[in-house]
Amino acid sequence: QLTKNTMLQKCWVWPSTVVDFVKDRLNGYSLNVCAGNNPLCSVNLDLDPQDRSIIKGDMRALPFKSNSFETVVSDPPWKIGYYERFRPFFECVRVCKVGGIIIYNAYWIPMTPSGDAELLETWVRQDNNFSNSSIISVFKKVADNPEYNSKIEKELYEASGRKGPKVSM
């Protein structure tokens, strides 16, 4: 969870080269996690949306059923600790359909130790000379992880405050 010391910064917009790169790889029903001011997908989500078309949500507990999207895009905050990086990527994989694509922009290359996603390509981007660079990693979801999916869906159900027997999400 975010702590009271967490500071959200104003969102920035990707340059047109990155927007075009991502748009060229979008396929079908798509989700943009940490959308900022880049509402490129069918569904766009951000913790602190500045645009009414972007829904509010947490990258660590995506409010969607497993296997919901053909393409998932994410540009997570870069100032998150090493151990905070895993769950947001696992969530992107969880909500992506098997055979779907995950496009992840960060300065690290994520992975799934369980083998749920396969790295297809990596691109290094730099917006101008002597600026920071990032890696755009493109993955294909190759397998489902029912154990992880049911654990997360149970957490989401319990966090919703519902009473009574759990129903399928």
Report how far apart, in Å, the C-alpha atoms of 75 and of each of 12, 103, 107, 161 are. 11, 9, 10, 29
Report how far apart, in Å, the C-alpha atoms of 134 and of each of 18, 110, 139, 154 are. 11, 13, 16, 34
Question: Would you say residue 8 has pLDDT above 70?
Answer: no
What pLDDT band is residue 70 in, cutting at 50, 70 and 90? very high
- Residue 49 has a pLDDT of 83
Phi, psi angle pair for 153, to nearest 5°:
-65, -35
Q: List residues bridging with 59 in a β-sheet.
A: none
- Residue 98 has a pLDDT of 98
Q: pLDDT for 100-135, tens place per residue?
A: 999 999 999 999 888 999 999 999 988 778 878 889
Among 49-63, 121-135, 137-151, the range with the most confident prediction by mean pLDDT is 137-151
pTM: 0.85
User: For the residues 62-76, what does the mean pLDDT come to?
Assistant: 95
What pLDDT band is residue 163 in, cutting at 50, 70 and 90? low
The identity of residue 7, as a single letter, is M
- Residue 115 has a pLDDT of 92
What pLDDT band is residue 12 in, cutting at 50, 70 and 90? low
57 against 1, higher pLDDT:
57
- Residue 55 has a pLDDT of 93
- Residue 153 has a pLDDT of 84
Question: Would you say residue 161 has pLDDT above 80?
Answer: no
Nearest one of 138, 141, 108, 101 to 123, comparing CA atoms? 138
Least confident of 1-5, 109-113, 117-121, 138-142: 1-5
